[in-house]
Amino acid sequence: MIKATELLYYLVHPQELRQIIQWKTWHNPVHERDESKESATLKRCFFFLDMTSRSFSAVIKELHPELLVPVCLFYLVLRGLDTVEDDMTIPLEKKEPILRNFQDILEQDGWTFTENGPNEKDRQLLIEFNVVIEEFKKIKPAYQDIIKDITKRMGNGMADYCKNAEHNINGVNTIKDYELYCHYVAGLVGEGCTRLFVEGNLANPALLKRPELMESMGQLLQQVNIIRDVKEDWDDGRAFWPREIWSKHVDNFEDLFKPEYKQQALNCSSEMIVTALERADDCLYYLAGLKEQSVFNFCAIPQSMAIATLNTCFQNHNLFKKVVKITKGEACELMTESTQNLRMVCDIFRRYSRKIHHKNNPHDPSFLRISVACGKIEQFIESIFPSQPQPRTTEEKKLTAAEEARIKESAEEAKREMMFLMLAVGLTLFLITIVMFIVAWAAGARFDIAWVQLKSQLGSFFGSSSSTADVTKHVEL
C-alpha cells in the first residue's frame, strides 16, 4: 500500500506524519451510521458513495442521523447526473432529455442506464441506479422536493452548457459564463445542502436570506477544482478557465503549458486564484450560521482544503505540468483543525491567506488585488473575533491633581534610580577596562602599533583620503 517514496517523504517530514497519526488516533466521529438498521439497498448506496467519492464520503458518513441518508442520496443523484454529462461518448440528442428530466427519473421505479462508455469510472452507479431511486422514495417528502428542485435546475443548466457548441470548441468565454457554469455544478449544491440543513433544523434559517453566501461556498470549491485540474482537464481536451482571463496573458490557451510562457502562466493562475479567493470571507460568514457540529465539519473541511489548495497552486508552475495536491499530512492537520469550531477555521483561513500574501509578486498584474483579498479575509475575521479590546473613553481615566503629581514623582524617582544604576555599571566597566589595559601593557602589549593598524584598517574600510596618509605613516614606522 505505502509507496517507498511516500515512506521516504514522511521520514524527512516527521511533523506531517505526526499530523496523520493524530488524526487517525484522536478523531471521533460526531455521529456514526448504524449499519445494522440499514436495508440492503441503503448499504449498496453507501457502497456507491465510497466508490464515487473519496473526499466527501467520510464527512457525509459522519453527518447527523437526520440528514445522513438525504445528503448521501443527494450526492449520488448529482453524481449520476454528472456521469451522464461528462460522458463524451453519449450523443447530445440522447444526453439532453436525460439531463433535463432527471428529476422525473427519480420517481421511475427500476430506472437504470447502461449506455455509458466503458471508460466512465462511475458507470456502475447508473447501471444499478434503481437502488438510489428505491431509497430516495423513503426519505421525507420535504427533502425529496429540495433534491428534485436542485436536480432539475442543475440538469437544465448542464444541458444548456452541453448544447452550447461554442463551449465545446472554445471552452468558457467570459468570467460571467465561468461563474454561471460553477453555479450550475456547485452553487446549486450549496443551495440544496443549505435548504436540507435548515429543513432538518441544523442551521440558521437566516442563511437562506443571504443566497450569495451559499453560492460562494459552492463557487470557491468548484473554482479551486478548476484551477487545480487545469492540466488534467486540458489533457482530456477540456478547458474551463475563461478566455476573458487567459487571453490577457497568452494568445492561445495551450501556451500556458509551454515553458517559455512560464511567467504569463503564473500571472494567469494568479488571476484565477484571486477570483476564487475573493469568495473566502463569504464562506466564513456562512460557516458562522451553522449550528450542529457534524454539519459544521461537513462544510468546513472542504473549505479549509480549498484554501490550502489555493496556496499550493499559487505561484507554483507545477500547476501546468502535473496535478498539484496538498500533502496527506497537511490534509490531516486541516481536518483536525476544521472539526473544532469557527475560530479554528478562521485561524486556518488567516494562516493560508498570509502564506499567499507572502508569495505575492509585486510585478504580477493581480498583485494589489490579491493583497486586498487577503486583507479582506483578515478584516472579516477581526469583525467576528476582534483581537483588540475596545478602549475606554479618555474621560473615564481623568486623574486628580494629587494622583497625577504622585505618578509624576514616582516616575522621576525611577528615572533617577535608573541614572545611578547606569552610572554605577558604566564606572565598573570603565575600571575593569583600565585594569585590563594595565595588565596587558605590563605583559608587553604594544598599543602604539595596534592603534596605527586600527586607524589604517578603518580608513581603508571607509575609503577616505586620510587612509593613504595613514598608510604612508605606517610605512615610515
Partner 1 sequence: MAANVQKTSSLGKVLVTGGCGFLGHHIVKLIVERHPATQVSVLDLRTELNRNSNTNVSYHNCDITSVGAVQQIFSKIQPDVVIHTAGANLIAKNEVHYKVNVDGTKNLLAAAEKTGVKVFVYTSSASVIYNPKTELINADESWPLVMGKDQPEYYTHTKAIAEKAVLEANRGETGMLTCAIRPAGIFGEGDVQTLPKMVSAYQKGQNKFQVGSNNNLFDFSYVGNIAHGHLLAVQALLHTQKMMPTIPLDTEKVDGEAFFITNGQPVYFWDFARAVYHEAGDTLPLSSVWKMSQGLMYLIGAILEWLFWILGKTPNLTRQQVKYSCMTRYYSIKKAEKRLGYQPIVNLEEGVRRGVKYILQEEQKGKDKKDQ
Active-site annotation, residues: 181, 228, 238, 298
Inter-CA distances, 100 with 72, 97, 150, 321, Å: 22, 5, 12, 37
Name which of 239, 277, 245, 278 is nearest 264 in CA terms.
Answer: 245
> Smallest distance from the beta carbon of 201 to partner 1, in angstroms?
31
Contacts of 374 (CB under 8 A, 6+ apart): 277, 353, 354, 356, 357, 360
DSSP string computed for 273-303 = HHHHHTTHHHHHHHHTTB-SHHHHHHHHHHH
Count CB atoms within 10 A of the CB of residue 189: 21
Of the pair 110, 362, the CB lying nearest partner 1 is at 362
SS3 content of the chain, % helix, strand, coil (to 5): 75, 0, 25
Question: CB count, 10 Å around CB of 25?
Answer: 7
Q: Which is nearer to partner 1, 35 or 395 (CB)?
A: 395
x/- site string to partner 1, residues 23 to 42, per CB under 8 A? --------------------
Phi then psi dihedrals of residue 325, to 5 deg: -140, 155
The residue (of 252 and 464) whose beta carbon lies closer to partner 1 is: 464
**445 backbone dihedrals φ, ψ, rounded to 5°:** -70, 140
In the bound state with partner 1, the residue whose beta carbon lies nearer, of 376 and 455, is: 376
Please work out the total of residues on this chain that contact partner 1, with binding judged by CB under 8 A: 28
- Give backbone dihedrals phi and psi of 290, rounded to 5 degrees, phi first: -95, 135
| Helices and strands: H and E segment counts in the chain | 25, 0
CB 116 within 8 A of CB 43: no
Give the nearest distance from C-beta 285 to partner 1 in angstroms.
14
Instruction: Quote the least distance from Cβ 381 to partner 1, whole Å.
Output: 9
Angle at 277 between CA 288 and CA 255, to 5 degrees: 155
Nearest approach, Cβ of 350 to partner 1 (angstroms)?
A: 10
Distance CA 399, CA 253 (A): 70
What nine digits make up the cell of 253?
A: 490557451
335/27 Cα distance (integer angstroms): 9
> Least Å distance between CB 375 and partner 1?
5
- What is the closest distance, in whole angstroms, from the C-beta atom of residue 182 to partner 1 in the complex? 23
Q: Distance between CA atoms of 180 and 215, rounded to whole angstroms?
A: 11
User: Please, are residues 452 and 474 in contact by the beta-carbon 8 Å criterion?
Assistant: yes
Least distance to partner 1 from the beta carbon of 416, Å? 22
Nearer to partner 1, 72 or 381 (CB): 381
Q: Which is nearer to partner 1, 205 or 365 (CB)?
A: 365
- 306-365 residues in contact with partner 1 (CB under 8 A) are 354, 357-358, 360-363
Residue with smaller CB distance to partner 1, 114 or 394 = 394
Query: Which residues 359-398 are close enough to bind partner 1 by CB under 8 A?
Result: 360-363, 367-369, 371-372, 374-376, 378-379, 382-383, 386-388, 390-395
Q: CB of residue 361 vs partner 1: minimum separation in angstroms?
A: 6
Beta bridge partners of 203: 290
Site for partner 1, residues 255 to 314, rule: CB under 8 A: none
Cβ nearer to partner 1, comparing 5 with 387: 387
SS3 call for 59: helix
Written as nine digits, the cell of 366 is 493581480
Residues 233-252 that bind partner 1 (CB under 8 A): none
Name the residues that contact partner 1, by CB under 8 A: 354, 357-358, 360-363, 367-369, 371-372, 374-376, 378-379, 382-383, 386-388, 390-395
